[in-house]
């Protein structure tokens, strides 16, 4: 009995490619591609739906903020249009004072003009109060 194995020279052996292994590899690739594609087609609408829901939440939050801002601006506008407040700002902040009575000119808005009537214009002989 010999314990030393015989040397075998395989350098002259030529391997042939098995066409079945290549075919099996392509079949496996196709199967994986179909599974991934099906999963993507299933998940895509759900992801889009979640994104749309998040957009809706963001937009409703923005709308609430804009409505609140609009309400505050309307209140501020109303307070700024108040005549007493305007007079107070004019006297305290701007240093304006009330005009003497002889310098005040009161202009009345004309009522409804009768047919054939005319409105007086400045410089047409109408006297102004001084």
When pLDDT is averaged across residues 4-27 and rounded to a whole number, the result is 83
Torsion, Cα of 107, 108, 113, 116 (10° steps) = -30
97 contacts 91 by C-beta, under 8 angstroms: yes
pLDDT score recorded for residue 121: 63
CA–CA dist 73, 66 (Å, integer): 10
When pLDDT is averaged across residues 4-32 and rounded to a whole number, the result is 86
The mean predicted confidence, pLDDT, of the chain is: 84
Question: Which is more confidently placed, 80 or 109?
Answer: 80
- 31-82: per-residue pLDDT in tens? 999 999 999 999 999 999 999 999 999 999 999 999 999 999 999 888 888 8
105 contacts 130 by C-beta, under 8 angstroms: yes
pLDDT score recorded for residue 84: 85
- Global pTM reads 0.43
- Ordered by start, the domain boundaries in the chain are 22-97
């Amino acid at each position: 009995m010999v314990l030393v194995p015989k040397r075998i020279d395989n350098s002259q052996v030529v391997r042939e490619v098995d066409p079945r292994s290549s075919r099996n590899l392509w079949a496996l690739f196709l199967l994986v591609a179909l599974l991934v594609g099906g999963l993507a087609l299933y998940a895509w609408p759900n992801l889009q739906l979640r994104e749309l829901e998040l957009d809706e939440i963001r937009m409703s939050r923005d709308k609430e903020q804009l409505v609140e801002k609009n309400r505050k601006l309307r209140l501020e506008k109303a307070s700024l249009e108040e005549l007493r407040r305007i007079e107070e700002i004019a006297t305290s902040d701007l240093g304006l004072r009330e005009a003497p009575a002889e310098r005040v000119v009161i202009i009345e808005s004309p009522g409804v003009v009768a047919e054939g009537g005319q409105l007086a214009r400045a410089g047409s002989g109408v006297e102004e109060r001084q």
